Amino acid sequence: MVLRISYISAVCGVFLLVSVSSFHNLAIANTNNQSQLIAQGQSRIQSHPVFKSILPKLKQKTQIKILLPKFIPESDGENPIYANIEAATQKSYEISLAFTPDCNGASACRLGAVTAEVVTRKTPRLTGKRVSLTKGITGYFVDFTCGAGCSDATLTWRQQGVQYVVGLKAGDRTSLVKMANSAINP
């Protein structure tokens, strides 16, 4: 009987050692996989599907952090929306949003724009109505004006040395805040 208890204790001890060792290796593997997923997640850009076709070219052209909104008003599926790269350099990009693929900024088919550029000494000071954005960021809202046509209402903010702007033709502040927050939060 004593021999049996000793045998069972030895077997349990070996089992415990093997289990702890396996758990340790599993924990290391999980930590490594999480690090890889986090690193991969940083290279992925989550955005509205309208940007999917232009994203590879944009990544190729610019070196600044690309922030694109996941929310775009008027994108409920009734009318298709198209994103076009108007300009892209290492330090900036400008994307137009339109209801036709070949709008070229025309007022009748224009929805808005998403832009970014590195802040330099020559970059003008931010103006407009202060707006609180996610992650404690302050944005500046400038309302649209109308004459022969209506301009974009814009929301501008700075993040890590880059100035980002979202604009909507005759847009409202609530939609622009939602749009900006959806770009800031990955």
User: pLDDT tens digit string along 5-22?
Assistant: 444 444 444 443 434 343
Residue 155: how many CB atoms within 10 A of its CB? 28
3-state secondary structure 83-144: EEEEEEECCEEEEEEECCCCCCCCCCCEEEEEEEEECCCCCCCCCCEEEECHHHCEEEEECC
User: pLDDT tens digit string along 115-156?
Assistant: 999 999 999 999 999 999 999 999 999 999 998 888 999 999
Q: What is the pLDDT of residue 95?
A: 96
161 vs 72: CA distance, rounded Å: 25
- Is the pTM higher than 0.85? The answer reads no
User: pLDDT tens digit string along 59-104?
Assistant: 999 999 999 999 998 877 778 899 999 999 999 999 999 999 888 7
User: Average pLDDT in the 38-53 region?
Assistant: 65
How would you classify the pairing of strands 129-132 and 110-118? Answer: unpaired
